[in-house]
Chains A and B, each alone.
Chain A
């Protein structure tokens, strides 16, 4: 559904160089620190920026050449960017009805109602979290085949985050071919949700794994300097120096459990993968 080959974009103090594949029917997470290149990648996918080199294909087409019919198939959430804040959700419903032939107005109204979003209140008077929920409701209710969500849960509390993620799950259940690309700095949102994860840092993809692989095979070893000296480095993905010794990330936790019974090997989550990969030595 999305194919990125050698996408390059250079700015004064930042350059992006990434390749990604997002097949139909998958949920892909894009994680990384602020300024790592998540939003630039998403903008390239949406055709909002002109790549300096490389190729971006969405639905097998260059998104810079998209027409109305192509754009109708994509639901978008961009941070701090949406319909005018002078409008009300009622106005937004009216606009979506005129713009998208597949707009599901009853679903939109139900989503607003369930989140306590007043249809008559101007968007500018809504809280940050409510605005974020409204942006997601817009993206989900016009029959898109692909969702591109840049930080959709930013500003939401735990309960609202869960509800928004449930909306996205419902959206996916309606059609097995639907795909989602979601960027978030809240890794717990992505852990139980994404089929695979891309970790981006300094404009480059530093890790691409299926979420199940991360949860099943990746482990974290906390070892002293003496223990670290005895470890088989070939099986270590990243190492981070700590006060007590080293924290090591491995993709072969079973190997260490079987061969180093004296060392505690914890299961790795996306958080620990990010912390060690980005904070340590690869």
Chain B
């Protein structure tokens, strides 16, 4: 697994510096103009996701066939990639906390509670991990051309669903509005810790399922 991690690290290093520079520039501007802290917090997992996705994209371009001849079995290959996603997210999360602390100190704005400071925004990390896990599984399931079509379809689908949800909120008593209302009510009634645990459990299950799907795809696809 070490060899695969070294490989992914070497590939992501090529895009790391420009992405990091962009992130710090964004933070500096955001710090000066006093942007919402949540924006700074949520931007870092997205940045790490772009870097991780670029590694998957690079692997697709280079051809999976050769990667499959490297000395690893399917489980190790999939575990490593998800570990790499997790490490990227952890690094981005840690970096965002450092940056936020610096901004708070320099700007003199009131600091949030310690728990909130450290754990706020973890939902975004989980969402990104689920997205990356399924993105990777899809890249193993489909050849490059079909993968692009699937990705396009998913992005299009999410956009349509998002628009439908927004429309529903502002308009009639539709099914989507009812679902959103139901989630809102649960959110209001349930204690925060239960919500956090439940959400984390669901997220981890979805992420784990993506790994199972990736191993299955790898074992059954012709490369």
Contacts and interface: CB of A to CB of B under 8 A. Distances in A.
A264 interface: no
Contact of A99 (B10, B62, B70, B73): B70
Contacts of A71: 69-72
Given A81-B65, A83-B7, A48 B223 contact: yes
B69 to A, nearest CB: 4
B174 interface: no
Interface in A43-89: 43, 46-50, 64, 66-69, 71-72, 74, 76, 78, 80-87
Contacts of A68: 71-73, 76
Contact of A94 (B10, B58, B62, B72): B10
Interface string B57-69: 0110111011011
Interface residues of A, number: 31
B69 A74 contact: yes
B223 A49 contact: yes
A95 interface: yes
A229 interface: no
A76 B69 contact: yes
B65 A86 contact: no
B198 interface: no
B2 interface: yes
B153 interface: no
Q: Main secondary structure on chain B at its contact with chain A?
A: helix
A84 B70 contact: no
A78 B6 CA distance: 22
A59 to B, nearest CB: 14
A95 B70 CA distance: 11
B220 interface: yes
A87 B11 contact: yes
B66 A43 contact: no
A47 B72 CA distance: 13
A243 interface: no
B125 to A, nearest CB: 26
B71 A78 contact: no
B201 interface: no
B6 A67 contact: no
B72 A95 contact: no
B222 interface: yes
The 4 closest A-B pairs by CB, nearest first: A99-B3, A81-B63, A98-B3, A71-B71
19 contacts: A43-B223, A46-B68, A46-B69, A68-B72, A71-B70, A71-B72, A78-B63, A81-B63, A82-B63, A84-B11, A84-B59, A85-B62, A86-B14, A91-B10, A94-B10, A96-B3, A98-B6, A99-B7, A99-B71
Nearest to A74: B69
A48 B4 CA distance: 19
A49 B11 CA distance: 27
Given A81-B66, A99-B4, 16 more contacts: A47-B68, A48-B65, A48-B222, A68-B72, A71-B71, A72-B71, A82-B66, A85-B61, A85-B62, A87-B11, A96-B3, A98-B3, A99-B6, A99-B7, A99-B71, A100-B71
A83 B65 contact: no
Given A48-B69, A50-B220, A84-B59, A94 B6 contact: yes
Contacts of A47: 68
